[in-house]
């Protein structure tokens, strides 16, 4: 990266000439290797697929040290710049083919900031498991992060904020067996997540401060209005995703975009789906829908 930080990135290439380039942005407390099945599906359709582990995540964290941490200051914007630089690296190697950005959960927040800043470089964007501005709870989180940093420093894991954000996500799951049943109805995928040492990490206080600041930034009316008006945008979520408030927050995001004059916004809610649609029981249907949507654009 431009600040000499090392980032782990991957590329999957089809056998023939690629019909398009899709870059994947993973979510919080996980890593890009979990997207292998989805990537292989897209490669089979003729796409070249790239992705990377964000700062503080996966192999990027293993290379550089501290887990669950972006940077000492303004880390959300730094992570967005990482996205910009990684994509630029791959685009230099590829011909001028259509470019699609795919972001899941936290990756969708980074993707939304990316299209606010560099939207004219993108042909289409898919935002999975996204959500709206938490408002007062986000502001409260910023205050807690500030006070926690003053007391204990910003580089320590913040278990309180982690529980505050994720503690109630299992509330509407019938008879949950694990703390992460809200991720998927596929029990095997949940178990794999639990057993993965690079998943479920508790981020630092500074990470939470950066994330809350990023959420505030991407929901500002002036920033949303920077998104190109004709950019095709797909908002993809499960109807039982607590992050998207069971679809309500997803429609709120779509409404804000439409109010900003963005003309090509599509919302798709998969009935009964939880947070990680790419790891749901019906994920092959999700994969097919994504491919069909891209092809129609």
Query: Domains in the chain, start-ordered, CATH in brackets?
Result: 9-133+218-296 (3.40.50.1820)
What pLDDT is stored for residue 234 in this prediction? 98
Say if residue 154's pLDDT is above 90: no
What pLDDT is stored for residue 65 in this prediction? 76
Say if residue 35's pLDDT is above 80: yes
Say if residue 272's pLDDT is above 90: yes
Per-position b or e across 162-187, b if 16+ CB within 10 A of its CB:
beebbeebbeebeeeeeebbbbbbbe
Q: What is the mean pLDDT of residues 197-208?
A: 96
| Residue 141 or residue 49, greater confidence | 49
pLDDT, tens digit, for every residue of 123-141? 999 999 999 998 778 888 8
pLDDT, tens digit, for every residue of 56-75? 999 999 998 789 999 988 99
Q: What is the mean pLDDT of residues 19-34?
A: 97
pLDDT, tens digit, for every residue of 101-126? 999 999 999 999 999 999 999 999 99
């Amino acid at each position: 990266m431009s600040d000499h930080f090392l980032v782990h990135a991957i590329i999957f290439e089809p056998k023939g000439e690629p019909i398009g380039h899709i870059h994947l942005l993973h979510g919080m407390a996980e890593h890009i290797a979990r997207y292998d099945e989805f990537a292989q599906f897209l490669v089979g359709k003729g796409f070249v697929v790239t992705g990377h582990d964000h700062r503080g995540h996966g192999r990027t964290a293993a290379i550089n040290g501290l887990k669950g941490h972006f940077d000492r200051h303004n880390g959300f914007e730094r992570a967005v710049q990482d996205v910009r630089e990684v994509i630029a690296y791959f685009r230099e190697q590829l011909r001028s083919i259509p470019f699609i950005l795919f972001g899941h959960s936290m990756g969708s927040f980074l993707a939304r900031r990316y299209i606010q800043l560099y939207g004219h470089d993108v042909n289409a964007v898919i935002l999975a498991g996204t959500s709206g501005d938490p408002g007062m709870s986000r502001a409260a989180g910023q205050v807690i992060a500030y006070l926690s940093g003053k007391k204990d420093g910003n580089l320590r894991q913040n278990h309180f904020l982690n529980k505050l954000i994720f503690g109630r996500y299992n509330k509407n799951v019938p008879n949950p067996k694990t703390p992460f049943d809200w991720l998927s109805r596929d029990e095997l995928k949940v178990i794999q997540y639990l057993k993965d040492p690079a998943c479920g990490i508790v981020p630092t206080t500074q990470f939470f401060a950066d994330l809350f600041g990023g959420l505030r930034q991407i929901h500002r009316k002036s920033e949303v209005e920077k998104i190109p008006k004709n950019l095709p945008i797909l908002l993809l979520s499960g109807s039982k995703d607590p992050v998207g408030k069971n679809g309500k927050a997803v429609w709120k995001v779509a409404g804000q975009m439409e109010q900003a004059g963005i003309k090509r916004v599509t919302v798709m809610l998969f009935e009964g789906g939880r947070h990680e649609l790419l790891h749901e029981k019906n994920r092959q249907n999700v994969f097919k829908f994504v491919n069909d949507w891209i092809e129609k654009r």
